Amino acid sequence: MICYKNLLIATHKESFIGYVVLSDSGIIKNVNKGKCNIKDALDYSGYILMPSFIDSHTHGGYDFSFNDLKEKNIQDKLNKYLAKIKKEGVGHVFATTVTASYSDIKKIASYFTEKYSKEFLAWYLEGPYISKEKKGAHDENLIKNLSTKETQFFSEVSKFIPVYLALAPEYSQNKKMLNQYHDQINFALGHSNDNNFDSKYLKDNKYKRVIHFLNAMSGFHQRNKSLVNSVLEDTNRNYLIEIISDLTHVRSQTLNFLYQSFDDSNIALVSDSLPNKGSKNGIYKLNNLEVEKKDYLFYLKDSSTLAGSGMPYNLILKNFYKATKCSFSQLVKFSSYNVAKSLKNKTLGRIKINTKANFVLIDKDFNVKLHYFDGEKAKLD
């Protein structure tokens, strides 16, 4: 047995000073308030224990891209990436791919229909079924509408792993697929210039999430039914709203506005990190496009168009916490619980007795001191 004591333990329901006891095999045996009387308990006063984080919109990092899953012999690069994100406190991700050809998409799909890494909770295709006007860092030459054949293909893939598809609603063909397949595929709203959006698609839960809110979508307008209008004006939200809290995609004051505007159950903090997160500044490839890394940000080469973030996920959380002064229990919802709940996963996003440990210990600056993943202590050195 091992006991970690004097922690601030944060769950999605409450936060308290207490302790957690693990078996030698990494199973949580007890979580309680107060003092731990186990001999040789480890004192972690000043640290916060939270469920390990879920980054539900990330394209990779540390020189690994989820678009690389179409290739063979990528396991070493993938293992390096998975080890690196553990240092950020991230245990699980949505494997997010950028716009690619259908032939490449099918190659990537073959990875998920075989044995895939247990860190992957979903396959998230951010393109190509989006708007050219709001394409962001996606190859315009590959953008198209979603066909029946492709939708049926993704429906088959979803038998192996949950599939999320970004879908611009302003095109009749996309609307047709949305109406017919929303029970089989998780559609995501964004990368769209729709200024006459029919909000029933949100109210009827045909869209399961909103892609990096405020970015790459039709903006607020007093006379239009834009995507921003539709989400802000909705009074019965039953979907997740992604927020990139790197302070550039969304500035600090706006983060606080969104925090005040949305229910705790709706927010999912994401990194939208690109494959060269962790690399030095310079020019890199994002599938068929070139992007420039400038510190924690990526831009399309020779432009001011944001392409994604290069910020570690623990700092994404730190920014949101400082901007909003939210509680740690709320932060648990935003960083893991809400996403796990959306997948009907009753283990992740929780500190639950008789389950394998999936939690992190962070200090007040959000540095990750300890990370248990699937019952094993991750190497952070």
Which residues does the annotation place in the binding site for Zn(2+)? Answer: 126, 191, 212
Start-end of H helices in 141-291: 148-157, 172-181, 200-203, 227-233, 252-261
What is the rounded CA–CA span in Å between residue 169 and residue 260? Answer: 27
**Do 131 and 144 meet the contact criterion of CB atoms below 8 Å apart?**
no
**Residue 272 designated active-site:** yes
Residue 379 class from Cβ within 10 Å (0-12 exposed, 13-18 middle, 19+ buried)?
Answer: exposed
> Is the bond leading into 128 cis (omega within 30 degrees of zero)?
yes
User: C-alpha distances in angstroms, 199 versus 10, 169, 173, 219, 229?
Assistant: 35, 11, 18, 15, 10
Helix (H, G, I), strand (E, B) or coil at 319: helix
4 strand-pairing partners: 20, 42
Token pair belonging to 170: 């302003």
Task: Kindly list the distances between the CA atom of residue 192 and the CA atoms of 94, 135, 204, 242, 283, in Å, as whole numbers in the listed order.
Answer: 21, 8, 19, 15, 27
Report which of 313, 272, 277, 305 is spatially closest to residue 293, judged by C-alpha positions: 277
Q: Which residues are annotated as a binding site?
A: 126, 137, 191, 212, 215-216, 223, 249, 306-308
Report DSSP letters for 266-285, one per residue. GEEEE--B-TTTTSPSEEEE
Instruction: Pick the catalytic residue from 55, 68, 246, 272.
Output: 272
Strands (E), 41-81: 42-43, 48-51, 53-58, 60-61, 64-65
Nearest C-alpha neighbor of 187 from the set 162, 166, 213, 218? 166
Give the number of other Cβ atoms within 10 Å of residue 72's Cβ: 7
The HSE-up count of residue 279 (CA atoms within 13 Å, CB side) is 24
Residues with a known catalytic role:
272
